[in-house]
Amino acid sequence: MNDTVATADRSIVVIEDEEAIRDVIEWNLQREGFDVSTARDGRAGLDLVRSAAPQLVVLDLMLPELDGLDVCRAMRADAAMREIPVIMLTAKGDESDIVLGLGVGADDYVSKPFSPKELVARVQAVLRRNRGSVPAEENGAASEPEDTADPDQRRVELGGVIVDPARHEVLVDGVDVRLTRTELRLLHALLRSPGRVFSREQLVVRVMGDNAWVTDRTIDVHVRAVRRKLDTHAEVVETIRGVGYRARDPRD
Ligand code: CA
């Protein structure tokens, strides 16, 4: 079945300095049909991502030369690498690492020690939910009339905040604000239904896909990041205590 998928569509870069862990990840991903290339420090890893343009990056947090946070930041600041999903490997139970990792634009994280099966499942989940988010001008959907367009790609606007998933664009009072893919998805899900209260579980499903490993806590971290980036418009995303979140126009 994997033979029907082009190798280029299954390419993954693994950046991990511990040889034993790197080998385990490489072996398990290759067994699932992925084309894996590896690097053992952050600088070499960043160069490899730039040249290989993989479908996904598995990125250890603690790395020589350039740590995982710096690698992720550099990727998100570079138009050629901005869209490549990143799964961060963090130390077990270290919540500050998780918060930092998601804050610099990682799409998901796996805490060490992890089972290879879990990592492979996460990789597949992230690739699944990133499929179909190709910019409209690249998949020819740009000319489709508004009412038949994919609702997941529809441009929404509330309280001076515009989210345009097809263009991967967020405008706050006309100013371009850079959100990670996951943050954009979260904000879009809320703004599509202004006033509607979403539980964290509902947002997990809408934003992360059907991924049983993602915790409610992850949504809180993403909401915090979204609010920080919306700055003066942070109140567009309102916390409903004990329930979850909703979008509202602060001027109403
Ligand atoms: Ca390490």
- Amino acid (1-letter code) at residue 248: R
For the chain, the residue count is 252
Residue from 85, 125, 120, 123 nearest 102 by CA: 85
Mapping DSSP to helix (H, G, I), strand (E, B) and coil, where does residue 39 land? strand
User: Domain 11-131, what fold?
Assistant: Rossmann fold (3.40.50)
Å from CA of 139 to ligand 1 middle: 38
The H helix count followed by the E strand count for the chain is: 9, 12
pLDDT(30) > 90: yes
pLDDT(56) > 80: yes
Residue of 3 and 85 predicted with greater confidence:
85
pLDDT(6) > 50: no
How far apart (Å, rounded) are the C-alpha atoms in residues 170 and 149? 19
Å from CA of 34 to ligand 1 middle: 22
How far apart (Å, rounded) are the C-alpha atoms in residues 125 and 11? 15
Q: What is the pLDDT of residue 213?
A: 57
Give the tens place of pLDDT for each residue, 191-232: 998 888 888 888 887 777 655 456 677 888 889 999 999 999
Q: pLDDT-based confidence at 37, cuts 50/70/90? A: very high
What percent of the chain is modeled with pLDDT above 90? 49
pTM for the full predicted model: 0.62
Mapping DSSP to helix (H, G, I), strand (E, B) and coil, where does residue 105 land? coil
How far apart (Å, rounded) are the C-alpha atoms in residues 15 and 47? 11
Tell me the average pLDDT across 42-68. Answer: 95
Å from CA of 133 to ligand 1 middle: 31
Same fold, 11-131 and 146-247: no
Å from CA of 68 to ligand 1 middle: 9
Give the tens place of pLDDT for each residue, 160-189: 999 999 888 999 999 999 988 889 999 999
Å from CA of 212 to ligand 1 middle: 26
CATH number of 146-247: 1.10.10.10
Mapping DSSP to helix (H, G, I), strand (E, B) and coil, where does residue 171 land? strand
Q: What is the pLDDT of residue 150?
A: 73
Å from CA of 85 to ligand 1 middle: 19
* Other CB atoms within 10 A of residue 140 CB: 9
Å from CA of 63 to ligand 1 middle: 5
Instruction: Report the relative pairing of strands 35-39 and 56-60 from DSSP bridges.
Output: unpaired
Å from CA of 6 to ligand 1 middle: 31
Q: What is the mean pLDDT of the chain?
A: 84
Q: What is the pLDDT of residue 59?
A: 97
> Chain-centre distance of CA 74, in angstroms?
15
Q: What is the pLDDT of residue 131?
A: 66
Cα separations in angstroms, 26 against 90, 96, 125, 171: 18, 27, 18, 39
Residue of 217 and 246 predicted with greater confidence:
246
Tell me the average pLDDT across 61-82. Answer: 92
Domains of the chain by residue range: 11-131, 146-247
- Lowest mean per-residue pLDDT among 62-76, 110-124, 140-154, 237-251: 140-154
Give Rg (Cα) of the chain: 18
Give the tens place of pLDDT for each residue, 113-150: 888 988 998 898 888 877 644 443 344 444 444 444 57
